[in-house]
Structure 1
Amino acid sequence: MQSGLATMPAEELSAGKVRRRTPWSEGVRRLRKQKAAVIGGALVLLFILTGLFAPLLAPHDPIEQNLANTLQPPSAEHWFGTDDSGRDMFSRILYGARISMTIGIFSVLGSLVVGTLLGLIAGFYGKWIDTLISRIFDVMLAFPGILLAIAIVAILGPGLFNALLAIAIVNVPMYGRLVRAKVLGIKQEEYIMAARAQGMSQVRILFRHVLPNSWTPLIVQGTLGVASAILEAAALGFLGLGAQPPEAEWGKMLADSRDYITTAPWVVMIPGFAIMASVIGFNLFGDGLRDALDPKAQ
């Protein structure tokens, strides 16, 4: 059997350097080889940058109305045309990206933090704590996500922050159960038993050994979860429970333009395409991450 050094490039051996690839670096290398994931990552980056730099990129004020210029088709002055209030659609799409990315990313971050903590506690400590948390998750998962989000927003009142909060709450059980399942397997590993034998505290074991080994599925699910959060935000906006006028939000833009689908189809198609492209981008990137970080593929 040949030594592992025999397969190394001669230049590296002559320089006396042996490169060690970590699982993360190996995952990044595989991710870059997947065309679909690269395209998805490019779309994700495009929408994030669009949202960040919307004030610099938008040629017009997204809420400025010009009733003498309503429902104008795409032109050199208005690249995506104008809506029923004469507002520039291109500018509103740019600002809508800021709202959708904010809701998608921050709602997932909130769900991840709360769900991860609850899942860690349930899986690691078990007994009645696990039973209580798991039953709470089961009750929340018994309701369709969008209906539960609508109920929460109806209680809190319509608005951008309340929509973000509702989406975050609805998705907590998904991440909590994912972490719990991962922890149940990890805490039986030999290195966890060795840490306990050395007298390491439960909290230290939890955050030093268990949590770092649970990150991979969370990162993948979180990326895919952003796509779902964007759709849920658009649904709430379409129902008038999300961002309120005059804010430019893609779901609200769809709701306001549905009466003009035959006379001015661009006012419906453009925000719909923006939602579709952003969701596809996060899904492609999330699928690529799942394949790249899969331990069985290493």
Structure 2
Amino acid sequence: MQFSRTKPPVPPNETGSANRNSSLEAKPLRDLVRSFIRHRSAVIGASLVVIFILCAIFAPLLTPYEFYTSTRETLDDPSAAHWFGTDDLGRDIFTRIIYGARISLWVGFVAITGSIIIGSFLGLVAGYYGKWQDSLISRLFDILLAFPGILLAIAIVAMLGPGLNNALIAIAIINIPTFGRLMRSRVLSVKQEDFVLAARAIGMKNSRILWRHILPNCWTPIMVQGTLGFATAVIEAAALGFLGLGAQPPQPEWGTMLSDSREFIQLAPWTMIFPGLAIMLTVLGFNLLGDGLRDIFDPRMKQ
């Protein structure tokens, strides 16, 4: 009696399966990039931000002058030699604006990053655990929000002393409640989802639930708010510099440049116009980028 041999089942093509999985993962990214490119205001905002970042990085290559050296041509009109003119000490204004981008972007990045880290941690704890932790942290946020932001920053810098680092600390502190309350509200919503309840039911640790399930589902609004908060940080840094509490001379901070040129607003208006335009365009770029990201990530706006 003969038995027919049956061929063993062919295992699935692991390479093809991996390629399909990678293509599925790449598809949302492609859709996100396409949505971003189609959003005109987001593209304009990102372009402005990239321009200032490139200027800050390649500042020594964009100008032959140093931001602290005098050209012996005080209050010179804008010309081919000095595109934005010179200030009362003969320093090239274009050079100081280019180098000032380094200070403003650095202050905004470090301050907002610190605010996001501290505020998100406090918001996670308050939203997930609740009880006395939520009451204590929420009252702390309420106290910080009870004061106008710039006045609280002035008070903090006045206690710590004027300087760029102290201004950075003050800006980070006054923005903590914004990210903390946003994270808390997201956690209160996400922790009621079925996948979180299932993780609790199987005995998963709270730290693992926070890190693996809740935090990844709360980052989108934090990222959007961080982009908008960057613009606010630039304005706050300029305000502290204008009051003499931020960057100290000869550092080319935009707010300090505005303060130094107040006396020459009629004689040499370009000494105030160009630093003001730098602040305006930077803030406009981050606001447009933040609004664009909000529209892209919000499914209700896609309709």
Q: Scaled by the length of structure 2, what TM-score is found?
A: 0.90
Superposed CA RMSD in Å reads: 1.5
Asked if 1:251 corresponds to 2:255, the answer is: yes
Alignment counterpart, residue 181 of structure 1, candidates 168, 178, 185: 185
Instruction: Report the equivalent of 2:163.
Output: 159
Structure 2 unaligned segments of length 5 or more: list them: 1-18
| 1:20-63 residue CA offsets vs partner (Å, 9 max, x unmatched) | 36555433321110111101000001111111221222320100
Give the residue type in structure 2 aligned to 1:43: L
Instruction: Report the equivalent of 1:41.
Output: 46
Asked if 1:229 corresponds to 2:238, the answer is: no
Alignment counterpart, residue 197 of structure 1, candidates 201, 208, 213: 201
Instruction: Report the equivalent of 2:296.
Output: 292
Alignment counterpart, residue 215 of structure 1, candidates 212, 219, 226: 219
Structure 1 unaligned segments of length 5 or more: list them: 1-15
8 Å Cα contact 1:28/1:292 also seen in 2: no
Partner SS for 1:62: coil
Structure 2: how far apart are the matches of 1:238 and 1:17?
56
Instruction: Report the equivalent of 1:29.
Output: 34
Compared with structure 1, are the counterparts of its residues 17 and 23 closer, same or farther at alpha carbon in structure 2 (3 Å cutoff)? Answer: closer
Asked if 1:56 corresponds to 2:61, the answer is: yes
Number of aligned residue pairs: 282
Structure 1: how far apart are the matches of 2:169 and 2:237?
11
Structure 2: how far apart are the matches of 1:53 and 1:122?
43
Give the residue type in structure 2 aligned to 1:86: G
Structure 2: how far apart are the matches of 1:176 and 1:54?
36
Matches within 5 A, 1:103-114: 103-114=107-118
Give the residue type in structure 2 aligned to 1:89: I
Q: Scaled by the length of structure 1, what TM-score is found?
A: 0.92
Partner SS for 1:211: helix
Identity of aligned residues (%): 60
Matches within 5 A, 1:101-180: 101-180=105-184
Give the residue type in structure 1 aligned to 2:179: Y
Structure 1: how far apart are the matches of 2:53 and 2:69?
24
Matches within 5 A, 1:61-80: 61-66=66-71, 68-80=72-84
Structure number, greater radius of gyration:
2
- The structural deviation recorded for 1:126 is 0.3
